[in-house]
Amino acid sequence: MTDNALHDPDPAPHAIPPSSGPAGEDTTDFGYRAVPKEEKKPLVRAVFDSVASRYDVMNDLMSLGIHRVWKRIFNAELAPQPGLKLLDLAGGTGDVTFGWLAGGGGPALMTDINEKMLAVGRDRAIARGYITDLDFCVVDAEQIPLPDRSVDRVTISFGLRNCTDKMAVIREARRVLKPGGRFLCLEFSRVQVAALAPVYDAWSFKVLPTMGSLIAKDRESYQYLAESIRMFPDQETLADMFREAGLSHVRYQSLSGGIAAIHSGWRL
Ligand code: SAM
């Protein structure tokens, strides 16, 4: 993978390089690069193939452990219940699924498009003793192989940003939800506290790629992370996308000054 911003000694950290161009009808964003739509999945796959074995330790280091707090808030919002069935999309190494099961939730299907991430998740599940009420499946969140109206809760945590067709994911989540079911998304979002922006930009574009390079021996994947966050829809835009997909009672909660946000919508 190559990256324009890598070659700029001191890029304006939050500016999107004009050379990347806007994503057109046949292209989509991969970080700041516009790439043909069919190329994004292999590129994202390469990122997570590369980081899978160090994903959890890097998550703790990069977020200074704050992702754990966000996921606890997310799980509290999810409010696990024994009779309910969860579909966790882009579940990666399992944090959301494990939160659900630990909270007393019903049967969970943990899915991800990437076998390596899911394999790390399966090992972690076994280590935690989650054997019953848990299934794993390789699933592209844009084309969920489940019948209409078959699950009670759908979650996606830090996954939507990596999908090519985000509207397709939200529509699919709604389709598989039973009436009365709920879709919850945890994702990076738009910082709303001006004083936080310069520190956050420096952290994202200087510290993260350097950490990626030193610890995971992979600078580019962490540069992609920083860029993909800036390309992701802001709180209001994502809420509008939820409504457009037919979800009801859509609302969101910003976390840590807008660094992340939880979006929620119901299928009525
Ligand atoms: N949910 C986990 C968490 O919160 O720690 C993992 C998040 S990780 C940043 C993003 C995950 O999205 C990766 O495991 C990646 O393989 C997955 N992913 C990317 N595109 C996907 C797609 N189209 N369908 C399903 N999963 C996808």
d(CA 52, CA 153): 26
Which CATH number characterizes residue 55's domain? 3.40.50.150
| Domain with 235 in it | 48-267
Model pLDDT, residue 7: 29
User: What is this structure's pTM?
Assistant: 0.91
Distance, CA of 189 to CA of 187 (rounded, Å):
6
90-99 pLDDT per residue, tens: 999 999 999 9
Residue 166 lies in a domain: yes
Is 113 inside any structural domain?
yes
Does the C-beta of 159 come closer than 6 Å to ligand 1? yes
CA nearest ligand 1 atom 9, residue: 158
Q: Work out the angle at residue 93's Cα, subtended by the Cα atoms of residues 90 and 98, and round it to the nearest 5 degrees.
A: 95
Give the pLDDT score at 66.
96
Q: How far apart are CA 89 and CA 141, in angstroms?
A: 6
Reported as a single tens digit per residue, the pLDDT across 43-87 is 999 989 988 999 999 899 989 999 999 999 999 999 999 999 999
Residue identifier of the C-alpha nearest atom 10 of ligand 1 = 159
Residue 36 lies in a domain: no
Residue 34 domain-assigned? no
In a domain, 197, yes or no: yes
Asked if residue 10 belongs to a domain, the reply is: no
- CB 113 near ligand 1, within 6 Å: yes
At 24 the pLDDT is 66
* CB 150 within 8 Å of CB 174: no
Domain assignment of residue 18, yes or no: no
Residue 13: what pLDDT?
38
Predicted local confidence at residue 240, as pLDDT? 98
What is the best residue among 49, 72, 113, 137 to mutate for testing ligand 1's pocket, by most ligand atoms within 8 Å of CB? 113
* Mean pLDDT, the chain cut into blocks of 10 residues (268 residues total): 29 40 76 93 92 91 95 98 97 98 98 97 96 95 98 98 97 98 98 92 91 87 91 97 98 97 98
Q: Say yes or no: CB of residue 158 within 6 Å of ligand 1.
A: yes
pLDDT at 265: 98
Distance between CA atoms of residues 242 and 182, nearest Å: 11
Taking CA atoms only, the protein residue closest to ligand 1 atom 4 is 157
> Is residue 9 included in any domain, yes or no?
no
Ligand 1 near 121 CB (within 6 A): no
Number of domains in the chain: 1
Strand 27-30 and strand 33-36: the pairing is antiparallel
At residue 221, the pLDDT reads: 87
